């Protein structure tokens, strides 16, 4: 399904909003999409048909499509089937057994025969993606409507590029999605993190001192874009997943200036070579953590060729504070890859990645507990399983726990079974986007084992919020406000806003004289936090804590430091800024009748 056909499908399903008014690629398009996805299932995909670059006095002929995956319905329209059906197909394939009779043999033969089309097919000649070609001096990335998403970004970034690479010997190919910064008319920064397959390939070229070919496709069948994010094992071509889902092979053509094959129906293809000895500063970039990722040195792609359809559509996304389009892409990944996770952890029943935990910062897993220490065993297994190894905080519940997306019931279940003995703190690799660990790429891990059936502690003595605040302020004058949650459980949550002047552990210790009224105490900065907004508090806290440094225990009281870190904490790295909209841009969009986000949603999601 080409991008053009998918756009027509969106129109038919009333899932597309067409914006004909002039919109700038600098901040405006991304701000509109950022607001639209906050509307949840009521939001639409956006097709911008009048796109300009005011800074350079340029008008683009191409349309820009955003928020393509931004609802459960649209996500399933991309797949062409229910996500659960895809997961069932994978599980059925993983559990194939030798047939016992003729009927089973025929059934298995049909199943296996259908798999013959999952392998990508290399075609001769050119594809629609190569109808228009630009080589060498004709190459100009600024002729593509590449967006600058946030005011603090280092420049324009390609945000939905399918990055095709291959190993030095050509035996393995990889499809990944990495942000790509535009440096000038023919150079891109490649933000492939050290743990990614493309980075492993790059190491091979670096050791051999050979230039590395890269081809980047944009658009085409939207399923290619999702496949670029699929967490498949090293060496497995992500386009196999495309064939498995579509039951038809991805049809590929050879790039014009690299040996790599790309989808014949892509809207754009950017080709080039990476000098293994050339690096440039990449970033900052307002990322899906809701924070800016900082400047770092990354490889550079020198573009040798750009090809495109005669009438291409530029596909882009916006990332920042949740919820965003990646919520729905992550949901599809979560459901589809559950059967594969079960192959390494067979007693895993289900798992869930809440979008305000920004995926790698928080997972909740339901397991069938068979023996003492079983949850810790599965923690170690998950922390060693591909991209699950980036997970910082994992909560494990028993098979009798509520549905993992029933957050209120689940929170009560967890808090009734929590005790300091439930906490398991370790250390391991963390995502390169993580900003809270004391050093890059390595940080604390927290596992919470609440698989026990018994409620193990007695509840504290509950006070009203204002009474508790009064007692707390008598012990610590820097405390500004307190909000208690789940006071009917054995372990109520007390969120405390502070004007931080010392390390948070000193505040925690100062409150111990009233510990009979406290169980789980979460400290946040008074600035930029609303203690009455639990959705964004979860986002803030799981972003900001490193388990080895920021969790304290005294008796039955657990303290969690969710504040921004600085020299008071011995924190030596740079702490990034929040991603926030530019007020002047929002005001201008309101004046032109393009911005229509309800103020309640604006405030709830702290835009």
Q: What is the pLDDT of residue 101?
A: 66
How many residues in total does the chain contain? 607
Task: Check whether 335 has a pLDDT greater than 70.
Answer: yes
Pair 427, 470 in one domain = no
Is pTM beyond 0.85 here? yes
Pair 413, 487 in one domain = no
Pair 277, 348 in one domain = no
Q: What is the pLDDT of residue 556?
A: 96
Pair 336, 284 in one domain = no
pLDDT tens for each residue of 535-550: 999 999 999 999 999 9
Q: What is the pLDDT of residue 559?
A: 98
Pair 363, 506 in one domain = no
Pair 300, 353 in one domain = no
| Cα dist from 491 to 320, 385, 461, 462, 465, whole Å | 32, 32, 11, 11, 15
What tokens does 598 get? Answer: 């309800």
Pair 395, 497 in one domain = no
Query: In what helix (H) or strand (E) does residue 416 lie, and over which residues does it extend?
Result: helix 407-417
pLDDT tens for each residue of 58-96: 999 999 999 999 999 999 999 999 999 988 888 876 655
pLDDT tens for each residue of 274-325: 999 999 999 999 999 999 998 999 999 999 999 999 999 999 999 999 999 9
Pair 310, 346 in one domain = no
Residue 418 lies in a domain: yes
Q: What is the pLDDT of residue 521?
A: 98
pLDDT tens for each residue of 568-578: 999 999 999 99
Which phi and psi (to 5°) does residue 361 adopt?
-90, -20
Other beta carbons within 10 angstroms of residue 471's beta carbon come to 15
Expressed as residue numbers, the domain containing 306 is 3-80+118-315
Residue 112 lies in a domain: no
Q: What is the pLDDT of residue 524?
A: 98
Domain final residue pick, 381, 415, 450? 450
Average pLDDT, the chain: 94
Q: What is the pLDDT of residue 253?
A: 98
Q: What is the pLDDT of residue 457?
A: 84
Pair 140, 241 in one domain = yes
Q: What is the mean pLDDT of residues 461-488?
A: 97
Q: Which residue has the higher pLDDT, 111 or 275?
A: 275
The domain that holds 303 is classified in CATH as: 2.30.110.10
Give residues with Cβ within 8 angstroms of 169, minimum separation 6: none
Nearest to 30 by CA among 325, 310, 275: 325
Residue 444 lies in a domain: yes
Residue 603 lies in a domain: no
State the residue for tokens 């190919």: 173
The domain that holds 560 is classified in CATH as: 3.40.1670.10
Q: What is the pLDDT of residue 107?
A: 59
Pair 44, 179 in one domain = yes
Residue 110 lies in a domain: no
Q: What is the mean pLDDT of residues 100-114?
A: 58
99 pLDDT band, cuts 50/70/90, is: low
Compute the Cα dihedral for 378, 384, 385, 391 and give only its sign.
positive
Residue 160 lies in a domain: yes
Q: What is the pLDDT of residue 106?
A: 58
C-alpha–C-alpha distance, residues 378 and 388, integer Å? 12
Residue 600 lies in a domain: no
Domain final residue pick, 263, 290, 315? 315
Pair 122, 229 in one domain = yes
C-alpha–C-alpha distance, residues 109 and 112, integer Å? 5
C-alpha–C-alpha distance, residues 93 and 84, integer Å? 14
C-alpha–C-alpha distance, residues 309 and 304, integer Å? 18
Q: Are the beta carbons of 351 and 387 closer than 8 angstroms?
A: no
Query: In what helix (H) or strand (E) does residue 450 lie, and over which residues does it extend?
Result: strand 442-450
Residue 94 lies in a domain: no
Domain final residue pick, 315, 333, 353? 315
Task: Check whether 112 has a pLDDT greater than 60.
Answer: no
What 8-state DSSP symbol labels residue 399? T
pLDDT tens for each residue of 237-266: 999 999 999 999 999 999 999 999 999 999
Pair 485, 422 in one domain = no
Q: What is the pLDDT of residue 104?
A: 54
Which phi and psi (to 5°) does residue 380 adopt?
-65, -40
What tokens does 293 get? Answer: 């990722």
Q: What is the pLDDT of residue 343?
A: 87
**Percent of the chain, pLDDT > 90?**
86
pLDDT tens for each residue of 173-215: 999 999 999 999 999 999 988 778 888 999 999 999 999 999 9
216 pLDDT band, cuts 50/70/90, is: very high
Structural domains counted in the chain: 3
Name the range with the highest mean pLDDT among 234-238, 374-378, 538-542: 538-542
Task: Check whether 355 has a pLDDT greater than 90.
Answer: yes
Q: What is the pLDDT of residue 384?
A: 84
């Amino acid at each position: 399904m080409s991008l053009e056909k998918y756009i027509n499908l969106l129109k038919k399903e009333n899932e597309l909003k067409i914006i004909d008014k002039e919109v700038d690629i600098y901040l405006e398009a991304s701000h509109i999409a950022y607001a639209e996805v906050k509307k949840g299932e009521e939001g639409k995909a956006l097709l911008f048909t009048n796109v300009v670059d005011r800074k350079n006095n340029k008008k683009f002929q191409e349309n820009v499509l955003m928020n393509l995956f931004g609802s459960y319905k649209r996500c399933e329209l991309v797949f062409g089937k229910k996500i659960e059906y895809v997961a069932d197909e994978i599980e059925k394939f993983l559990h194939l057994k030798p047939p016992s009779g003729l009927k089973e043999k025929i059934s298995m033969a049909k199943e296996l025969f259908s798999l013959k089309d999952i392998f990508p097919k290399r075609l001769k000649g050119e594809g629609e993606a190569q109808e228009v070609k630009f080589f060498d001096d004709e190459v100009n990335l600024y002729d593509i409507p590449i967006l600058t998403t946030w005011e603090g970004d280092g420049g324009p970034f390609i945000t939905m590029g399918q990055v095709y690479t291959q190993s030095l010997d050509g035996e393995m190919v990889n499809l990944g999605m990495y942000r790509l910064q535009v440096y000038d008319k023919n150079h891109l920064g490649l933000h492939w993190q050290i743990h990614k397959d493309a980075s492993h390939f790059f190491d091979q070229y670096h050791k051999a001192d050979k230039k590395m070919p890269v081809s980047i496709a944009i658009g085409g069948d939207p399923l290619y874009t999702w496949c670029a994010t699929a967490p498949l094992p090293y060496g497995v071509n992500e386009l196999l997943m495309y064939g498995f889902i579509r039951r038809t092979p991805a049809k590929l053509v050879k790039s014009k200036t690299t040996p790599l094959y790309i989808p014949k129906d892509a809207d754009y293809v950017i080709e080039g070579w990476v000098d293994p000895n050339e690096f440039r500063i990449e970033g900052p970039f307002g990322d899906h953590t809701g924070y800016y990722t900082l400047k770092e040195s990354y490889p550079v792609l020198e573009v040798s060729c750009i090809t495109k359809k005669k009438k291409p559509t530029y596909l882009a996304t916006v990332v920042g504070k949740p919820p965003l389009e990646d919520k729905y892409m992550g949901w599809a990944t979560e459901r589809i890859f559950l059967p594969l996770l079960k192959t390494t952890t067979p007693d895993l029943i289900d798992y869930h990645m809440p979008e305000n935990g920004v995926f790698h910062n928080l997972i909740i897993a339901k397991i069938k507990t068979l023996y003492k220490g079983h949850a810790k065993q599965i923690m170690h297994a998950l922390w060693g399983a591909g991209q699950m190894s980036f997970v910082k905080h994992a909560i494990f519940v028993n098979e009798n726990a509520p549905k993992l997306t029933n957050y209120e019931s689940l929170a009560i279940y967890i808090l009734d079974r929590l005790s300091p003995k439930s906490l398991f703190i370790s250390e391991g690799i963390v995502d390169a986007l993580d900003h809270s660990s004391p050093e890059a790429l390595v940080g604390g891990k927290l596992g919470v084992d609440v698989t026990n059936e018994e409620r193990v502690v007695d509840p504290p003595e509950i006070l009203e919020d204002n009474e508790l605040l009064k007692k707390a302020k008598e012990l610590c004058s820097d405390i500004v406000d307190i909000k208690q949650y789940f006071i009917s459980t054995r372990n109520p949550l007390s969120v405390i806003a502070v004007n931080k002047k010392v390390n948070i552990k000193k505040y925690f210790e100062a409150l111990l004289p009233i510990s009979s009224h406290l169980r789980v105490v979460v400290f946040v900065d008074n600035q930029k936090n609303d203690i009455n907004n639990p959705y964004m508090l979860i986002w803030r806290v799981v972003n900001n804590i490193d388990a080895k440094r920021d969790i304290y225990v005294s008796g039955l009281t657990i303290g969690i430091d969710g504040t921004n870190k600085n020299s008071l904490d011995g924190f030596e790295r740079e702490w990034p800024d929040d991603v926030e909209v530019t007020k002047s841009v929002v005001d201008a969009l309101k004046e032109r009748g393009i911005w229509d986000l309800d103020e309640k949603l604006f405030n709830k999601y702290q835009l």
